[in-house]
Amino acid sequence: MIKVEGVSKKYQLGHIVSSKNLTNPFKRGLQRLTGRSMQEEVAEEFWALRNVSFDIQQGEVVGIIGKNGAGKSTLLKILSRITDPSTGRIELNGRVSSLLEVGTGFNPELTGRENIYLNGAILGMSRKEIQSKFDEIVAFAEVEKFLDTPVKRYSSGMYVRLAFAVAAHLEPEILIVDEVLAVGDATFQKKCMGKMQEVGKQGRTVLFVSHNMGTISRLCNRAILLNQGGVVADGPVHHVIKSYLQEGTGTGAWARWDDSATAPGDDVARLLSVRVCSEDGITSERVDIHKPVGIEVEYEVLKSGHVLQPNCHFFNSEGVYAFISIDNKSEHCDLPKELGRYKSTAWIPGNLLAEGTMLVGVALTTFEPQCVHFYEQDVVAFEVVDNASGDSARGDYHGDLPGVVRPQLVWETSVSQGKRP
């Protein structure tokens, strides 16, 4: 359905340079003659995409992921024919419907009703075809009362609801959606995810950009990871998400800030270091599934009198929020802390976590009144390994065991002699 071959996109960036760096000889001479400081704009090339190639088959639901500035939105704009590539070519075999930002494809002066017909006409649909989908679109978008109101008076949430309903229901062969759905409320987002899954099952192709890895893993069967304008991974969604999350953390088991003045935090407390450690205090990136693992958080209190509670947030390689742990049981947890350096360690028991990569965010919080003094997401990461030689929940089974946790539960079995009455 989609073929991308060697696509690159170049932009010209303008920079204002000071009198010390003037490149224009006329301006340099004029500056010397008049003695007045001058500035000029210098163009710089920026490649948003570099030699991107991939094929997408009919019925695939593909997630496009990557950090901000990786080139995701530029790629979708090229695929939506909003902008042309600088080099390379694309082939699209079917009608394309795009939702890249609030109000994409809408005329703000027209009503919601008129924009539905306008978008259908742009897709090449007849009036009869649009009418057959009209009631379904309006019901999905929940904008019946405002159908004959110009969309320029819509809230951003109403805009998105109607735009998505139009894009998804007018039966395009290819549906392209950026993270604009984040504008909607949680209930509508859930409805949109269900609709995109339905579109994929109908044999149509979906491209979806999101920073929510849980959503990507549930919705997509394949993912493409972009970094600095190039494709760095393309394959099964869970493998690509794992690469993305590890890239974001540097897969480090120890993060530290030597200068407390620039460390995360505020005037009350600053984060100094976070590390993953074993029972014997050794920093470790690989953890035996059978053994406890500690998350050690060191911080400095700069202003006394605050009740400070460290907390750790755990995510698996699919971006699923596994659990949170708050220090509310230790000896000092509910006492105001004096000035000084503190070291708090959260211990995770053995045979709790599943195999795979775990990413940890750490925070320091005052709960009354609530104030987050620092929160560093994905600050450390570690790999949980089950070597299948010990007593774990895996037992003698050597296949894949999905899940966020893998506790070793106590099982009881009873047997009754004889036949049933």
pLDDT tens readout for residues 80-125: 888 899 999 999 998 887 777 665 668 889 999 998 898 888 777 7
**Tokens at 45, concatenated:** 């090339």
**Tokens at 154, concatenated:** 């819509």
For the ranges 28-32, 106-110, 171-175, 354-358, the lowest mean pLDDT is seen at: 28-32
* H helix runs in 227-278, sequence order: 237-249
pLDDT band at 329 (very low <50, low <70, confident <90, very high): confident
The set of residues, in sequence order, having a beta carbon less than 8 Å from that of 364 and lying 6+ positions away, is 265, 269, 271, 297, 299, 308, 309, 310, 311, 372, 373, 374
- Hey, is 189 helix, strand or coil? helix
Q: Return the pLDDT at 249.
A: 46
- Residue 417 clears pLDDT 80, i.e. is over it: no
10 Å CB burial of residue 244 (0-12, 13-18, 19+) is buried
Average pLDDT, whole number, for the chain? 83
pLDDT band at 187 (very low <50, low <70, confident <90, very high): confident
- Residue 40 clears pLDDT 60, i.e. is over it: no
Q: How far apart are the first and last CA of the chain?
A: 62
The set of residues, in sequence order, having a beta carbon less than 8 Å from that of 306 and lying 6+ positions away, is 268, 269, 336, 337, 366
Overall average pLDDT of the 222-246 stretch? 86
Q: Return the pLDDT at 46.
A: 84
Q: What is the distance between the alpha carbons of residues 189 and 178, in angstroms, rounded to a whole number?
A: 13
Overall average pLDDT of the 336-342 stretch? 92
Sign of CA dihedral 118, 121, 122, 123: positive
Domains within the chain, CATH numbers bracketed: 2-8+49-248 (3.40.50.300), 254-385 (2.70.50.60)
pLDDT band at 259 (very low <50, low <70, confident <90, very high): confident
What share of the chain has pLDDT > 70, as a percent? 85
pLDDT tens readout for residues 380-404: 988 888 876 667 787 777 666 778 8
Q: What is the CA radius of gyration of the chain?
A: 28
10 Å CB burial of residue 275 (0-12, 13-18, 19+) is buried
- Residue 251 clears pLDDT 60, i.e. is over it: no
Residue 383 and residue 391 in contact, taking contact as beta carbons nearer than 8 Å: no
pTM for this predicted structure: 0.60
Q: Return the pLDDT at 38.
A: 52
Overall average pLDDT of the 148-156 stretch? 87
For the ranges 5-14, 59-68, 175-184, the lowest mean pLDDT is seen at: 175-184
**Tokens at 232, concatenated:** 């760095």
pLDDT band at 410 (very low <50, low <70, confident <90, very high): confident
Q: What is the distance between the alpha carbons of residues 340 and 323, in angstroms, rounded to a whole number?
A: 29
Residue 95 and residue 172 in contact, taking contact as beta carbons nearer than 8 Å: yes
- Hey, is 234 helix, strand or coil? strand
Overall average pLDDT of the 330-344 stretch? 88
